[in-house]
Chain A
C-alpha cells in the first residue's frame, strides 16, 4: 500500500473508522470484510493488544485491538464494536475498532505529511493525514500491526 500512496495524482479509495474520538483510514484494497464482534478465544503469552482468535468461516483469525496497538487504552469489546478483516501481507487479521464511518475517495495529492510528533503511533503506523470537513483522518499502514515473530511471547 505504501507504494500506491507515494504515486502522485492517483485516486485512492479508503475505509475510514473511529477509535475513541480519533479517526483513521486504510486503503480499501486491504479490507476483505467488516463483521460484528464475536468473543475471541484467548491466546496465552501474547501482547495485551492481541485479544485472541476467532473462527472466520473455518479459518482462525487473530483479533488485534487497534487502539491498544496504537498506544490507546484497551477496549472493552462488546456487540457494538466492529471488526475490520484486513489483509496484511500473506496474513489475514481482524482489527477491533469502535465503528466504521464511510468510504472516502481521495487523490494522493491531498494526503498531507505526518505531523512531526514523538508518538509511537505516528512513527510506526501513520503514513499521512487527510483533512476532510474539519475532520482529521490519519492514514494507517497495517504492515506492522501484528507483533514481530520474535516478540510474540510477551
Chain B
C-alpha cells in the first residue's frame, strides 16, 4: 500500500467488511442479543467508516455516518434502548449508509429523498426524542450539517490577540517561559527535555534550570519531578505557536508566559478589565459535568492542584466490559490465523496445477505406449504421481472454496428493500450458509440469486390482503437453502406464495407465439415456459424484477456455470426454484468413452454401473425407443451418438456398452456408447469462454494426447431423449 489511491481502495474494501459487520450486528440486536460487545461492534463499524471517510474528504458520507454514529452512541452509553422500532430505523440507516459508501466510491451522489427522512429519524433518536412515527414526511431540502470538529483549545487564555495592541516592546521579540513539570508529566511519557528542545526549534533559546527543590540523592524519588526551568526564547512566532508545544503537557506542569522585553507604556486603549493580567493563568483540569465545557475565553480561576485528580465521569457501562470482554464474541480476527493472498496468485496456482494434471495424464499415456509393464517401477511411480497430483489439486481447490455465506449475506437487505417497494412483509430464512463452493462459482451466483429472490417476493408472494383472505399468515416466507448433493451444490429458493399461475403463463406463451394454441403441455412443462427466451416482458414483469432481465437470462447464466435450474410449483402453496451447480469449475472425475469415433467424458458422479446389452435384455418399444432390462425393471436406452448427431442411430446396440446413469431428479436411464477407454480425473475447460453453450455438452477437457474431448451433460441428454420431436426445442435449449 504505497499511495493514497491504493489506501483509498483498501478503505472501500474495508467499508464493505464494516457494512457486513454492521448488518450482522444489527440483526443480532434484533434477535434480542443485546450483549455490549454486539452494541460496541455496531458502533465501531459506523465509527470506522466515518473515520476513514474523513481522511479522504468524503463529506456526504462523513456527515451521514456522523448522524448514524451519534444515534448509535446513545445506545452504546445505555441512554437509548434498542427496541424493535429503533432497530428498524438502524437497519434502514445501515442500508442508506451502504448507499453513501457506494456513492462515494463511484463519485456519485445519494438523492436527497433517499436520505432526508432517515437523517431526521436518526437525529430524533440521537437527541432523545424517541422513534419518529413511520412515514414522517422528510424535509424537502437535503440536510447539510456542517460538523465542526471541536479542535482542542487550551483553556488557558490566549493573549495573542492582544499582541497588536501592545506597543512594540523594546528589545527582541519573544517570551520568557516558566516551566515546572509535575511527576505526572513523566509518568505519561512526556519528557521535559524534548519539549524544551522543541521550543528551541522556534528561535534562539536560553535555558536556565532551577534546582532548588531538588533533594539530595538520598531523598530523590526517581519518579519525582524537582526541576524548574526558565526558557528565554527569541522568536517571531506567536504565543499560540509556542504554547502548542506544551499541548500535551499542559495539565501536568505549571506554565507561565511573559514577553521577553518589558512592555513600553500602553497607548490609549479601550478600557480593559483590570483583572485581566498579562500572564496566562495556568489552569488545572477539574471535574467536568457531562456537558462539554463552553470554551469561551473568560478567565477561569481554579485552585492549583499538584496533579490532575479529576474523577472520571460516571457513565458508560459497555466500555468497562469491552476491555474485559476479550474472546467472548466470536471475532474473525480471533479465529484461526488467516493470510491475505492476491487472488491472481491463487488463480495462477490453480491453472498450473490443472496443467500438471494434464501433463501427468499425458505421461501416463506415453508410458503405456512405450510398452512398459503395468507393474514396472516406472508405472508404479506414475501411479504414485497421479495420487500426489490428485491430492495437490484437492488442496489447491480448497483454497478457493468459500462458504456461500458471502452471497447469502446480501439477501436480507435485498429482501427488505423489495418488501418495502412492494408493500409486503417478508421473512427470509436461510439454511446452509456454510456450504462451500469454489470462489468463481460464488461470484456468479449473486446475480441469478438476486433475481430469483426479487421474483419470489414480487410475483410469488401475494399481497397481504390476499394472503389473509386465503388463510395464510400476512407475512410471506422466502426460504434460501444451500446444500451438497451427489458432488454438486444445490441451491433452492422457495416461497409460500400463490405458485405459478399456469393459465396466465400458458396464455402469455401462446400470445408470444412460443407455443401453438393447441399444444398439450403437462403442468411441469407449463411452469418451465417462463425460462423461454422472449417470455418475460412488461406484461408479466413489474418494474422491480424487470430491468430487462428475464428468467431465461437467469437460466443461461446458471448454464454457463455448468449448472441447471428447475422449477416446481404448487398452486396456492408456493414455488421452489432449484439450482444445481458443480462444486468447482475446475475438475471432474470422468469416464472416458468412445462414441462414433469421438472421445467423450461422462461425469463419474452420474454413473451407477456399466451394463452389457444383450439380445435378451434389449427390447424395442413403440417407435424409435429402446429399453434395456435391469434387475428391477426396464429403463430407456439412449443412443448417445444419435443424440449428439454424430451419426444416425446404431442398428445393433449389442456391440456397445450401456452406462446406467442417474439424473439429478433420480431418474434412471442407460447411455449407449461404443467403448470405454478408462477413468480419469480431468480438468474442466469451459466452452462458454470462447464459444458458447452446446446442447448436451457440459464442458470440454484436454486429454493426455493433447486433443479436446467433450464432457457430456447427462441430464440434458436424458431430457432431450425423453421428448418427442415437437418439444425438442424446449429440451435442447435447457
Direct contact of A and B (CB under 8 A): yes
Q: Please determine whether B685 and A60 come into contact, CB atoms closer than 8 angstroms.
A: yes
State the Cβ distance, B727 to closest chain A Cβ, in Å.
14
Q: Please determine whether B690 and A44 come into contact, CB atoms closer than 8 angstroms.
A: no
Residue B702 lies at the interface, judged by CB distance under 8 Å to chain A = yes
A112-154 Cβ-contact flags toward B at 8 Å (1 or 0): 0000000000000000000000000000000000110110110
Residue B166 lies at the interface, judged by CB distance under 8 Å to chain A = no
Among B354, B598, B692, B733, the most chain A Cβ lie within 10 Å of the Cβ of: B692
State the Cβ distance, A99 to closest chain B Cβ, in Å.
24
Q: Please determine whether B692 and A146 come into contact, CB atoms closer than 8 angstroms.
A: yes
Q: Please determine whether A44 and B708 come into contact, CB atoms closer than 8 angstroms.
A: no
Q: Please determine whether A58 and B708 come into contact, CB atoms closer than 8 angstroms.
A: no
Q: Please determine whether B694 and A44 come into contact, CB atoms closer than 8 angstroms.
A: yes
Within 8 A of B (CB), among A42-61: 42-46, 50, 52-55, 58-61
- From B552, which residue of chain A is reached at the shortest CB distance? A150
Q: Please determine whether A55 and B702 come into contact, CB atoms closer than 8 angstroms.
A: yes
By a CB distance below 8 angstroms, the chain B residues around A50 are: 691
Residue A2 lies at the interface, judged by CB distance under 8 Å to chain B = no
By a CB distance below 8 angstroms, the chain A residues around B38 are: none
Q: A44-B697, A153-B695 are in contact. Are A61 and B690 (CB under 8 A)?
A: yes
By a CB distance below 8 angstroms, the chain A residues around B32 are: none
Interface size class of chain A, counting residues whose CB lies under 8 Å from the partner chain: 20 to 34
B675-708 Cβ-contact flags toward A at 8 Å (1 or 0): 0000000000111011111111100101000111
Q: A55-B707, A60-B687 are in contact. Are A45 and B358 (CB under 8 A)?
A: no
Residue A93 lies at the interface, judged by CB distance under 8 Å to chain B = yes
B600-611 Cβ-contact flags toward A at 8 Å (1 or 0): 000000000000
Q: Please determine whether B689 and A45 come into contact, CB atoms closer than 8 angstroms.
A: no
Which of B351, B355, B691, B707 contacts A146 (CB under 8 A)? B691
Which of B556, B690, B702 contacts A62 (CB under 8 A)? B690
**In the bound complex, CA of A78 to CA of B230 (Å):** 99
Residue B373 lies at the interface, judged by CB distance under 8 Å to chain A = no
Q: Please determine whether B694 and A60 come into contact, CB atoms closer than 8 angstroms.
A: no
- From B702, which residue of chain A is reached at the shortest CB distance? A55
Q: A91-B690, A150-B533 are in contact. Are A60 and B702 (CB under 8 A)?
A: yes
Q: Please determine whether B646 and A44 come into contact, CB atoms closer than 8 angstroms.
A: yes
Residue A106 lies at the interface, judged by CB distance under 8 Å to chain B = no
Q: Please determine whether A43 and B694 come into contact, CB atoms closer than 8 angstroms.
A: yes
State the Cβ distance, B654 to closest chain A Cβ, in Å.
24
Q: Please determine whether B708 and A54 come into contact, CB atoms closer than 8 angstroms.
A: yes
By a CB distance below 8 angstroms, the chain B residues around A150 are: 533
B544-577 Cβ-contact flags toward A at 8 Å (1 or 0): 0000000000001000000000000000000000
State the Cβ distance, A96 to closest chain B Cβ, in Å.
15
Q: A55-B702, A59-B685, A60-B708 are in contact. Are A42 and B690 (CB under 8 A)?
A: no
Residue A41 lies at the interface, judged by CB distance under 8 Å to chain B = yes
Residue B401 lies at the interface, judged by CB distance under 8 Å to chain A = no
Q: Please determine whether B706 and A45 come into contact, CB atoms closer than 8 angstroms.
A: no
**In the bound complex, CA of A149 to CA of B697 (Å):** 15
Q: Please determine whether B598 and A41 come into contact, CB atoms closer than 8 angstroms.
A: yes
Among B690, B707, B709, the most chain A Cβ lie within 10 Å of the Cβ of: B690
Residue B710 lies at the interface, judged by CB distance under 8 Å to chain A = yes
- From B690, which residue of chain A is reached at the shortest CB distance? A91
Q: Please determine whether A55 and B708 come into contact, CB atoms closer than 8 angstroms.
A: yes
State the Cβ distance, B348 to closest chain A Cβ, in Å.
12
Q: Please determine whether A53 and B695 come into contact, CB atoms closer than 8 angstroms.
A: no
Q: A41-B709, A45-B696 are in contact. Are A60 and B689 (CB under 8 A)?
A: yes
**In the bound complex, CA of A65 to CA of B178 (Å):** 93
Residue A92 lies at the interface, judged by CB distance under 8 Å to chain B = yes
Residue B644 lies at the interface, judged by CB distance under 8 Å to chain A = yes
State the Cβ distance, A63 to closest chain B Cβ, in Å.
10
State the Cβ distance, B514 to closest chain A Cβ, in Å.
13
**In the bound complex, CA of A91 to CA of B598 (Å):** 25
Question: How many pairs of A and B residues are in contact by the CB < 8 Å rule?
Answer: 82
Residue B91 lies at the interface, judged by CB distance under 8 Å to chain A = no
Q: Please determine whether B696 and A53 come into contact, CB atoms closer than 8 angstroms.
A: no
By a CB distance below 8 angstroms, the chain B residues around A93 are: 690-691
Among A39, A46, A53, A146, the most chain B Cβ lie within 10 Å of the Cβ of: A53
Which of A39, A43, A54 contacts B710 (CB under 8 A)? A43
Residue B645 lies at the interface, judged by CB distance under 8 Å to chain A = yes
Which of B358, B598, B695 contacts A42 (CB under 8 A)? B598
Q: Please determine whether B354 and A53 come into contact, CB atoms closer than 8 angstroms.
A: no
Q: A58-B354, A149-B556 are in contact. Are A44 and B692 (CB under 8 A)?
A: no
Q: Please determine whether B697 and A43 come into contact, CB atoms closer than 8 angstroms.
A: yes
By a CB distance below 8 angstroms, the chain A residues around B694 are: 43-46, 152
By a CB distance below 8 angstroms, the chain A residues around B697 are: 43-44
Among A61, A147, A153, the most chain B Cβ lie within 10 Å of the Cβ of: A153
By a CB distance below 8 angstroms, the chain A residues around B599 are: 41
Residue B732 lies at the interface, judged by CB distance under 8 Å to chain A = yes
Within 8 A of A (CB), among B327-351: 351
By a CB distance below 8 angstroms, the chain A residues around B693 are: 149, 152
By a CB distance below 8 angstroms, the chain B residues around A55 are: 702, 706-708
State the Cβ distance, A43 to closest chain B Cβ, in Å.
6
State the Cβ distance, B42 to closest chain A Cβ, in Å.
42
**In the bound complex, CA of A61 to CA of B707 (Å):** 11
**In the bound complex, CA of A27 to CA of B694 (Å):** 29
Within 8 A of A (CB), among B261-300: none
Among A44, A46, A50, A52, the most chain B Cβ lie within 10 Å of the Cβ of: A44
**In the bound complex, CA of A33 to CA of B224 (Å):** 81
Q: Please determine whether B710 and A41 come into contact, CB atoms closer than 8 angstroms.
A: yes
Q: Please determine whether B687 and A53 come into contact, CB atoms closer than 8 angstroms.
A: yes
State the Cβ distance, A66 to closest chain B Cβ, in Å.
15
Which of A45, A58, A92, A152 contacts B690 (CB under 8 A)? A92
Which of B351, B644, B706, B733 contacts A44 (CB under 8 A)? B644
Q: A41-B598, A42-B646, A45-B644 are in contact. Are A149 and B709 (CB under 8 A)?
A: no
**In the bound complex, CA of A42 to CA of B694 (Å):** 11
**In the bound complex, CA of A91 to CA of B709 (Å):** 20
State the Cβ distance, A36 to closest chain B Cβ, in Å.
14
By a CB distance below 8 angstroms, the chain A residues around B707 are: 39, 41, 55
Which of A58, A91, A153 contacts B691 (CB under 8 A)? A91
**In the bound complex, CA of A94 to CA of B731 (Å):** 29
Within 8 A of A (CB), among B346-383: 351, 354-355, 358
By a CB distance below 8 angstroms, the chain A residues around B710 are: 41, 43-44
State the Cβ distance, B686 to closest chain A Cβ, in Å.
7
Within 8 A of B (CB), among A6-29: none
By a CB distance below 8 angstroms, the chain A residues around B709 are: 41
**In the bound complex, CA of A44 to CA of B646 (Å):** 7
- From B732, which residue of chain A is reached at the shortest CB distance? A153
State the Cβ distance, A148 to closest chain B Cβ, in Å.
9
**In the bound complex, CA of A43 to CA of B697 (Å):** 9
16 A–B pairs (Cβ distance < 8 Å), ordered by A: A41-B599, A42-B598, A44-B696, A45-B694, A46-B694, A52-B708, A53-B708, A55-B702, A58-B351, A60-B689, A61-B690, A92-B690, A147-B692, A149-B693, A150-B533, A152-B693
Known: A39-B707, A52-B708, A58-B351. 20 other contacts (CB 8 A): A41-B598, A43-B697, A44-B644, A44-B646, A45-B644, A45-B695, A50-B691, A53-B691, A55-B707, A58-B354, A59-B689, A59-B690, A60-B685, A60-B689, A60-B690, A91-B690, A91-B691, A147-B692, A152-B692, A152-B695
A-B pairs, 5 with minimum CB distance: A44-B644, A41-B708, A62-B691, A60-B685, A91-B690
Query: Chain A interface (Cβ within 8 Å of chain B)?
Result: 39-46, 50, 52-55, 58-62, 91-93, 146-147, 149-150, 152-153
